[in-house]
Every structure is written in C-alpha cells, then in structure tokens.
C-alpha cells in the first residue's frame, strides 16, 4: 500500500525533572505562574509527528513517503530515515529556516510541559500531494498529522478532492485551530486518531456531538495511555483494546505516533480494526521504552512476540500471517491451533474488510 505521511519533522529536546510539577504550583498564585526546573538529563533526538510515524512504518517493512518541511540541518536525520526505507523525496528544505524544535520536560509522574517552535515547518503549506502521487504512481492512503495548520488543511482538501482516503491526526494543533478548520480536518476522514484529552478538545472545538463526529468519519481511534485504546464507529458499540505494557517505561514521547504507524501497518496488511489496534499498541510499547520517538528498535518478529504475550496466540498468529513474519514451530497446542485458524481465515478472505474500506495492501 502506498502511504504518504504528512506532518511535522523536528528535533526533540527531551528533559527529565525528578520531582513533581504539581508540587511547584502555588494554588493562590496560578494567575502569575513563573516556573523554572533543574533537570537531570537532556536528550537531543530526531522527532516530529510525521517523521515518527514514518519511522514506525519503516520498521515494519513499509516504505512510506514523508511529506514535510525542514531546514538544511535535516541532512543527517534524513539520511537515517532513508536508510531505514522512508521515502524522503517529498521533503522540502527551507533556504532560510531551521528544522522545527520540540522542547519537552517530563516529571516523575510522567506529566509533561512542552514548547514547540515551527521553524521550517511554516513552509509546509507550500507542498502539494499531487507531485508525490505522480512520483509514486498514485497513493492509497494519506496520514495527515500535526503540521503547519495551513498544510494540514491543504493536504486534507487535496485528499477530499481526489477521493483519496485519509487519516486525520491533528494532535496538539487542535489547541490552535478555529472551529471551521478543525471541522475541515475531520469531516470525511476514514480514520480519526486522538488521545483522551484531544478527544474532548475536538468535541469542544467542532461544537459537534460524539455521534455527529462518528457520522462524519469512518473509525475514531482514541488512545488512553496505560488503559489502551477505544475504537468507535457510527451505529456500533465502542470496542476497548488493552495496552501492551512496555518492558520498561522510559519516555512517552512519540508513543502516539508509533501507535498510528502500527495501526496503519496492520491496515495495509489487511487486518481487521481490532488487530490493527493491537499492532499499534504493541509498536507503541517499544516507543515508550526509549527516549525519543525514533530511538526504539523493533521489527515484525519482535512485534508479534509482544502481541503474543499481551493478546494471546490467536492474535499473534493472525498478525504474523498478515505481516509475513517467517513461520516458526509452535511450542504449544494452543499456538498450533491459533496458527491453523489464522491461515484458514486468511485463505477464506476473512479480515479483508478494514476499518476504512481501503482495499487490502496494494503494495508494500
């Protein structure tokens, strides 16, 4: 499946404050907040919503086209992504601005205070999707992630005009966008990705009810941190998916982007929505175990092993079959039965209907 990922491309400056932000706030002085934190560590890593998602897709064997704007300082980051299999031919390099910067401090409760400087991202609205589609011989799905607001609206409108399925992931930009812009980003999305806070903010920004959002989108996926995620479709009861606990929790930065990458990888492989969400949750668990959204290591085999532990042999067998993970000898009778059932379902065409109606993987 030919997937384009639009969104921010940034350098992350990640800091850890060993205390608690809540203890630094004086209740009767909240109208005049002035805070300073002495942090224990500083990690400078490649990041950005678009680049993070493209990285995750590449780890699972896909070649997504990354669409965004950067500065000349992106060269090393770009070479690294390209080496992993990300198509960077649609990345615009600014002649005057630096790559965007994300500065984030995480406290002992895993709460965060962050700032973002757009830099070259401000030029992303000048990038059209038509050239990317021509260069790749067409597109099957576009993830419209957090980016320059003008770019997000442009790319959404281009998808809508071309009848191209798109996934909306407005993320932090919801706080900056006016009602009409948010409505334009959401209306008609095959997939809508939010976290719990963004879900509430989206309803407030659009002035739509939850039911109306569902009528206007295909599937609404809300990530809930340690509580997993929720899948919602109009006229159907919500489905909850448990999270995959990371082996060790280091930093949540980029976990949402990894979830989206895993979900889209499952979608491209022809998996049903629940299995897509489980694939996303598994990939997010690897991201949460590293400092930075592009510092974790994973591959289909390791992902399937995590799925096996979290969701059992049936889920692992179906996802392994879809992602073309080399077969291994089952170690238990349950694993053998699960693999046989997964293969029978695949041969019969089960799971071909995905969350968006996008046809099964056209090209990896």
Catalytic residue annotation = 257
CA distance 123 to 113: 26
Dihedral (C-alpha) 234, 345, 282, 226: value to the nearest 10 degrees? Answer: 40
**What region, left, alpha or beta, does residue 202 occupy, with left being phi > 0 and alpha being psi -120 to 50 degrees?**
alpha
CA distance 184 to 166: 12
For residue 15, the cross-strand partners are 42, 105
CA distance 329 to 332: 9
Tokens 């095959």 label which residue? Answer: 190
Q: Quick one: tokens of 107?
A: 């406290």
Q: What is the separation, in whole angstroms, between the first and last Cα of the chain? A: 5
Tokens 């046989």 label which residue? Answer: 340
């Amino acid at each position: 499946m030919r997937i384009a990922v639009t969104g921010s491309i940034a350098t992350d400056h990640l800091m850890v404050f060993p205390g608690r932000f809540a203890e630094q706030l004086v209740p009767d002085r909240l109208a005049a907040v002035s805070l300073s934190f002495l942090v224990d560590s500083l990690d400078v890593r490649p990041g950005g919503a678009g680049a993070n998602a493209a990285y995750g897709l590449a780890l699972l064997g896909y070649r997504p086209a990354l669409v965004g704007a950067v500065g000349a300082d992106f060269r090393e980051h770009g070479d690294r992504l390209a080496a992993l299999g990300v198509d960077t031919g649609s990345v615009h390099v600014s002649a005057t601005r630096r790559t965007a910067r994300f500065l984030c401090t995480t406290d002992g409760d895993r709460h965060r205070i962050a700032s973002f400087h757009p830099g070259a991202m401000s030029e992303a609205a000048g990038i059209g999707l038509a050239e990317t589609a021509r260069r790749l011989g067409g597109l099957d799905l576009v993830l419209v992630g957090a980016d320059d607001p003008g770019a997000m609206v442009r790319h959404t409108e281009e998808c809508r005009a071309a009848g191209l399925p798109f996934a909306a992931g407005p993320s932090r930009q919801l706080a900056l966008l006016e009602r009409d812009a948010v409505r334009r980003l959401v209306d008609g999305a095959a997939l809508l990705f939010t976290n719990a806070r963004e879900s509430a903010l989206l309803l407030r920004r659009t002035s739509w009810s939850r039911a109306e959002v569902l009528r206007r989108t295909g599937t609404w996926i809300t990530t809930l941190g340690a509580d997993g995620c929720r899948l919602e479709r109009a006229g159907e009861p919500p489905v909850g998916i448990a999270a995959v606990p990371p082996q060790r929790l280091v930093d949540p930065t980029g976990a949402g982007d990894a979830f989206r990458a895993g979900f889209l990888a499952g979608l491209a492989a022809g998996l049903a929505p629940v299995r897509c969400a489980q694939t996303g949750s598994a990939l997010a668990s690897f991201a949460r175990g590293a400092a930075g959204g592009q510092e974790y290591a994973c591959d289909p085999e390791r992902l399937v092993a995590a799925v096996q532990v979290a969701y059992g042999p049936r889920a692992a067998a179906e996802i392994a079959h879809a992602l073309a993970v080399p077969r291994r000898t089952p170690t238990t009778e349950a694993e053998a039965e699960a693999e046989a059932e997964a293969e029978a379902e695949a041969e019969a065409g089960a799971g071909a209907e995905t969350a968006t109606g996008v046809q099964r993987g056209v090209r990896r």
